[in-house]
A and B are shown apart, each in its own frame.
Chain A
Amino acid sequence: MQVTHVTELLSPFLDDEIAPREREQVQRHLEVCPECRLQLESLRATLRLVRSLHPVKVPDGFRDQVRSRLSAVGEGSRERRRIPRWSWHVAAAAAVLIIGVFSVNLFREIRPIEQAVAPERGGVNLGAPGVTDLRSAPPVAPSAAQPQKTFPQFDGRKIVRTAQLAIDVDQFDDASRRLVQIAERAGGFVAESSYAEDNGVPTGSFTLRVPAARFAAVLAELDALGEITQRQISGQDVTEEFVDLQARIRNLERHEQRLLSFMDRATKVSDLLAIEEQLARVRGEIEQLTGRMRFLERSADLATVAVAVKQKAKRTSGGLWDISGTLSKMRAAFLATARQIAAAVEWLGVTVSALVPVLLLAVGAWLIIRRLRVARSS
């Protein structure tokens, strides 16, 4: 046939997927071309074969597999996110931190048990006014003539400071020696001391007079002597009495001057005697008041520290091993550890409480973010 074959168009022709113009062309060609007719029939048979393919059956459980893989993708990530991975890291870090802080403090506390106990009880809680300030004040030599210079920081106030301490010491002799040293180094002295033996345990009482400016420093030094079992500190403000005394003395002195001038002008012996009697009375009063004033001044300038010293039950006296000493050490160690644990628990509680609002915020933010993410992904 001179006409070009329509081989290319036979396939779409069979499918009826062909433009009307092309269909006409194919139909016209087929009428005149047995070769193409034959090919068309052959192609039609082939199509019939291909289309005779049976539908294959989906493997059993296919849908279940898809379903489980879907839930593994969706819920798997959701399940795992319920406990975020970083929370474990945070928990581990917190645990390490807590344990670290705890053990460091524990070690620091256990090693110097003796020191750890004493400063706690002996910590400076001086209730007397201005005593802590005195500590930093430069030592001033006591001077009765210039009382206002003694306490420049108190506007000339007169305060009588007294302290009473009871100390348990390891070695009585050593402690009494150091007591005297403390008093003298501070520019004071031991005004009184006594010694006694109570059931073979040496005890003693000492009264120290030290410059008021050194009062707090002396107390601190005494703390180091041994175990303070009793402590009482008082500060008595005698400024008012002092000023009152000064005024009364001035009045009496003026009275005395007048009496002396009367005596100069007196002519009768009886007058002279009467005046002299008066003078003696006034003079006596002045002496008395001045004495009181001096006493107050001294009291204010020199603080009084009464120390009762008792020697602890001797460690060496019992023999090789001092059981009570060991027991008290154990008790101290136990208490220290228990206190430490309690402090750690308290710290943990406080910290957790402090973190709760933050955690709530974080959880809220996380939920919102997750909600947004899910909304975006669906």
Chain B
Amino acid sequence: MDEGILIAASRRGDAAAYDALVGAYQDRIYQVTYRVTGNPEDASDAAQEAFLKAFRSLRAFRGDAAFGTWLHRIAVNAALDIVRRRPPQTRDLPDAAATPTDAQDRELERRELQRRIHRAMLTLPTDQRVAVVLRDVQGLAYGEIASVLQVPVGTVRSRLSRAREALRHLLADLSPVAE
């Protein structure tokens, strides 16, 4: 169904229409809350709060921004609320089996890499982390990020520069071109 129709129905309080919107956006929104909060529990809480808050304040949504952008803003704020209350934590995945096979080895290596990157991102100051998540995880353009965060594009650019520079140092050993 057309997103515009679903949004209009949701604004009238149609829970079924909004449920469809939740279905369409839950994956994307969850990426944001997960990478900002750092763990699935907080990420799920933040995403739920975001969807509920969005439903409640849908009539305040005037369509001057894209619905997705608007939803991202709410999700970022919900995640930051949780982060402010308890600093980001990672949940370590259970340790690998004692004698890994080659395939398991590669899988473990891959997982370890994911974990490294994830943790590195969590060490960033929150505004830089949010910028990286929106840009490199969500793939938003600078202008969209500025719209989500309601900051000038120049701010987005500098935050991203600093965040990436930090990440470059943090992940230097993983990068073949590292100094």
Contact = CB atoms under 8 A, between A and B. Distances in A.
A92 to B, nearest CB: 34
Contact of B135 (A7, A10, A15, A45): A15
Nearest to A59: B44
Contacts of A47: 136, 164
A56 B176 CA distance: 26
Contacts of B174: 49
A59 B113 CA distance: 22
A8 B160 CA distance: 10
Contacts of B4: none
Contact of A42 (B117, B136, B172): B172
B157 A12 contact: yes
A181 to B, nearest CB: 86
A71 B15 contact: yes
A62 B26 contact: yes
A8 B137 CA distance: 21
Would you call the interface of chain B mostly helix, strand, loop, or mixed?
helix
Contacts of A11: 157, 160-161, 164-165
Contact of B59 (A63, A69, A73, A378): A378
B59 A42 contact: no
Nearest to A375: B12
Given A17-B142, A66-B52, A67-B15, A46 B175 contact: yes
A2 interface: no
A70 B136 contact: no
A69 B121 CA distance: 31
Q: Indicate the member of A12, A65, A66, A69 with the most B CB atoms within 10 Å.
A: A66
A70 B52 contact: yes
B70 interface: no
Main secondary structure of the interface of A (DSSP, over half): helix
Contacts of B59: 377-378
B167 A74 contact: no
Contact of B13 (A45, A46, A377): A377
- The bracket for how many chain B residues form the interface is 35 or more
A28 B173 CA distance: 29
B108 interface: no
Nearest to B158: A8
B23 interface: yes
Contacts of A10: 161
B22 A49 contact: no
A46 B19 contact: no
Contact of A56 (B18, B34, B52): B34
Contact of B19 (A17, A51, A63): A63
Contact of A67 (B19, B43, B164, B176): B19
B44 A42 contact: no
A245 B167 CA distance: 138
B176 A45 contact: yes
A104 interface: no
A374 B11 CA distance: 11
B155 to A, nearest CB: 12
Interface of A: 7-8, 10-12, 15, 17, 38, 41-43, 45-47, 49-56, 58-59, 62-63, 65-67, 69-71, 73-74, 374, 377-378
4 cross-chain pairs, A with B, having the tightest CB-CB distances, nearest first:
A378-B13, A45-B175, A11-B161, A378-B12
